[in-house]
Amino acid sequence: MAKENQNPELEYQKWKLEVRRGALSLAILAVISAGQSYGYDIMKKLSEGHLKALQVEPSTTYPLLRRLEKRGMLEGHSVEYEGRMRRHYYITREGREYLDRMVESWKDLNNQIVLLLKEAELI
């Protein structure tokens, strides 16, 4: 069987996208858990200097908010603001429980990865 032409940069970009994709639900729920928010405000918070790696585009943010709402993690309501409608989201009880579980899983995974990297003398 012929070995596929492997491109390390392409593999790195795929890996980075997968990690980021998995973290965005956690990040968005964390932002909303601090108080109700809306799409543009969430994107703005996730693009601040110390959170720049979590910067997210509208084409990702709004479908993710709708999916989290459809799954019962968020509830939204429309509010008129400066003549336009804006959808404000807040986290539900189920969403809070889900977020708490996500945080614990993230911490466990992070701790184990850090331990592994230390054992391999990579950090």
pLDDT at residue 91 in the model: 98
Cα 32 to its chain centre, rounded Å, is 11
* 15-27: pLDDT as tens digits: 998 999 889 999 9
Domain 14-119: which CATH number of 1.20.1280.50, 2.40.70.10, 1.10.10.10, 1.25.40.10? 1.10.10.10
* 43-80: pLDDT as tens digits: 999 999 888 889 999 999 999 999 999 999 999 999 99
pLDDT at residue 22 in the model: 85
d(CA 64, CA 89): 12
Provide the greatest CA pair distance for the chain: 62
Q: What predicted TM-score, i.e. pTM, was given to this entire model?
A: 0.86
